[in-house]
Chain A
Amino acid sequence: MEVLIQNIINALQWGSFYALIALGYTLVYGVLLLINFAHGDIFMVGAYIAFFLVIFMLGNIGLDPGITLALAVPLTMILTSGVGVTLERIAYRPLRRKGAHRLYVVITALMCGLILENGNLALLGASRKRFPELLETTVYRFGDVSVTNLKIIVILAAILVFFFLQFVVTRTKIGMAMRGISYDKFAIPLMGIPVDTVIVFTFILGSGFAGLAGLLFAMSYPVLEPYMGALIGWKAFIAAVVGGIGDIRGAFVGGFLLGFIEIGVVAIFPSTMRDLFAFSILLLILWAKPTGLFGLARHQKI
């Protein structure tokens, strides 16, 4: 029983990371119908930005770890969304303006991801970075179940982000514009909606929360390396699709589902089987429900 609860908490934490990254995929896809393959690497960049910020604030300025954390969260999010928006401006927007085939944008995204990964490797070298400890670990014990404060923060952050985004997308004007663009990108500008602004806003949201995920991830697993974003990014993407890409709820459900599957597999089988099982289960889900759990089948009209 205790083991089960312990695993559920681990799965929630692990799923939170997936969910936070998956929503970046889902937001961009929901608006542009573009798989932003560079998103996993934006997460990685977010973790590195957090790392340099924290080192700078702790070392060069000598701030208190608590204040550092309080400053690092918004700064990381802002800087990471800057990276995302830059990517959109220099790589995706010109293609969109030219009306290029969707596939070319996807390839560009894939290549931008490679540039970020390997550029980082070339700049900073292959040595892994160790993220300094910002938060004094407090362990809460309930019987045999132990929860660290960090885990609670991660899970809470994911839940808060979910409600925030759900509010933005369904209740605000810009959220409605976001949903509108994916349906008809030609009609939307005619309705007086500034498409580019909405798209930039989408990238700000997606990349900002990827930055947050990067920071939290770095705090939880304090070893950074340039390829850390690749695998987790691909997986989060699959999670987003299983949930039904383009739907915020789908991203979170998919993310947590993946978290539960992976932790569940590791609890029963050797940990090397994790990917095999996780991907097989996801494949089966997609097989049964090709548009994901929350995705709506778009009927083709003839």
Chain B
Amino acid sequence: METGNKLQRNAFALAVISGCVLIILLAQFKVINLYIQSVIMFMGINIMISTSLNLVNGNMGEFSCGHAAFLCVGAYVSSITSVLIMAPNDITGAPFLPPELAVLVFPISVFVGGVVAALAGILVALPSFKTRGDYLAIITIAVNYMVISGIENLSVVGGPRGFMGMKKVVKSMYELADIPWMMIFVALGTIFCVLIIRRYVSSTYGKGVNAICQDEIAAEIMSVNTNKVKLVTFMLSSGLCGMAGGLFAHVVGYVNPQSFNILKSTEAMVMVYLGGMGSLSGAVISAVFFTFLLELLRPLQILKWVIIPFTLVLLMQFRPEGIMGNKELTDVFPKLRKYCRFK
């Protein structure tokens, strides 16, 4: 399927990158204010959350209801790492490294958060070898509660009051150079996340995930090592979500356990099912749309949380497959295929 020249085939990727650069430039020259900037950053983080959950709930067909647990792990671990190393704190006292290095330490700490979250994903992956469906759903809920409850009992990291100090790390980045660092990192994180998932699900390896979703026994007998694929998928999903958590914690500058409760998991699920199960582009679109909707409805305060579920109930009645169904953007607009390299 050699259609178009190289430039044309990469056009989609170029468009995405130049879009990101444009937004960052706009932020740099203060064309868009801090509020819009933060909304855009939340969009990026939500894209990471929804695409990573989509991998498990959409592609693998499991029903994970506790995705916020991994967000929580990632947020805490990366915050603790960056604050311990870069900022004065109660535990280790003075920072280890000079503030100029914050730009390096921050992405590393986000990555560390992702790795630890991936390890936490094993907690869900192991039971999934034996059971699936509703029983696995319970396990994810239980893990969500366990993580929150565990952190609430760790007074070292602030317990139920939460953990802060990330603002200082972020500030030292801005002192180094006055460019929108957080925007850049969120954009990089989002692109990284979507790219990795895209590459995973389009490889033969990752197609094993779909095979497990549709017929696990057939997959196992047709030589797919289902346990390994499940483990890898759960770890990848939770790891990427953990990275989103690390970014989230530093964007907000403060985390507390209750902001990662079941409601947050529900939000993630809403994004996945709104976009359409198993559709990566659907997950991206719905994350953008959902963030936008949340901000739009902000003046309504609590009524927002009546309207959004109600919309979703209606959606389930009239278009239960979500915005995209299980199709990708390239299936809906075949012409797009010319402009992107895969599929």
Residues of A within 8 A of B (CB): 29, 35, 91, 94-95, 98, 100-101, 103-108, 110-112, 114-115, 117-119, 121-122, 230, 234, 237-238, 241, 245, 270, 272-276, 279-280, 282-283, 286-287, 290-292, 300, 302
Contacting residues of chain B (116-159) with chain A, CB-CB under 8 angstroms: 126-127, 130-131, 134-135, 137-139, 141-143, 145-146, 148-150, 152-153, 159
A-side contacts of B127, CB under 8 Å: 283, 286-287, 290
**Which residues does chain B contribute within 8 Å of A35, judged by CB atoms?**
134, 137
- Of B5-13, B93-101, B301-309, the one touching chain A: B301-309
| A241 touching B310 in the complex, CB below 8 Å, given contacts A95-B317, A275-B149, A279-B145 | no
Contacting residues, chain A, for B130 (C-beta < 8 A): 287, 290
CB pair A245–B134 under 8 Å, yes or no, is yes
**Bound Cα distance from A74 to B271, whole angstroms:** 41
With contacts A121-B302, A283-B142 taken as known, whether A101 is within 8 angstroms of B320 at the C-beta atoms is: yes
23 contacts between A and B (CB under 8 A): A29-B134, A35-B134, A95-B316, A100-B316, A101-B320, A105-B316, A107-B316, A108-B312, A108-B313, A110-B266, A112-B309, A114-B306, A118-B303, A121-B302, A122-B306, A275-B149, A276-B149, A279-B143, A280-B146, A283-B127, A283-B143, A283-B146, A286-B139
Q: State in angstroms the CA–CA spacing of A98 and B321 once bound together.
A: 13
Q: Are B145 and A107 in contact (CB under 8 A)?
A: no
Tell whether B262 is near chain A: CB-to-CB under 8 Å.
Answer: yes
Query: Could you tell me the distance between the alpha carbons of A100 and B317 in the complex, rounded to whole angstroms?
Result: 9
Q: Is B41 an interface residue (CB 8 A)?
A: no
In Å, the complex CA distance between A108 and B320 comes to 10
Q: How far is the CA of A103 from the CA of B291 in the complex (A)?
A: 23
Given A104-B320, A118-B302: A241 and B135 within 8 A (CB)? yes
Q: What's the minimum C-beta distance from B268 to chain A, rounded to whole angstroms?
A: 12
- Cβ-neighbour of B316 out of A104, A245, A274 (below 8 A): A104
- How many of chain B's residues have a CB under 8 angstroms from any CB in A? 41
Decide: A279 and B146 in contact? CB cutoff 8 A: yes
Query: With an 8 A cutoff between CB atoms, is B217 at the interface?
Result: yes
Q: How far is the CB of B250 from chain A (nearest CB, A)?
A: 27
| 5 pairs of A and B residues whose beta carbons are closest in the complex | A290-B131, A111-B309, A275-B149, A118-B305, A276-B149
- Cross-chain contact B312 with A94 (CB below 8 angstroms): no
**Are A106 and B306 in touch, CB under 8 angstroms?**
no
Could you tell me if B302 and A291 are in contact, using CB atoms closer than 8 angstroms? no
Contacts of A94 in B (CB 8 A): 317
B76: Cβ under 8 A from any A Cβ: no
Contact assessment for A119 and B306 in the assembled complex, using a CB-CB cutoff below 8 Å: yes
Inter-chain contact B313/A115, CB cutoff 8 Å: yes
| Cβ A286 vs Cβ B309 within 8 A | no
B63 CB–A CB distance under 8 Å: yes
User: B residues within 8 A CB of A117?
Assistant: 305
Given contacts A286-B127, A291-B135, contact A279 B153 (CB under 8 A): no
A291 and B135 CA atoms in complex are apart in Å by: 7
A286 contacts B146, C-beta separation under 8 Å? no
Contact (Cβ within 8 A) A108 B316: yes
| Residues of A with C-beta under 8 A to B110 | none
CB-CB contacts below 8 Å: B147-190 with A: 148-150, 152-153, 159-160
For A300, list chain B residues within 8 Å (CB).
217
Give the residues in chain A near B137, CB-CB below 8 Å: 35
CA distance A61 to B316 in the complex (A): 44
Q: Give complex CA distance A32, B137 in Å.
A: 17
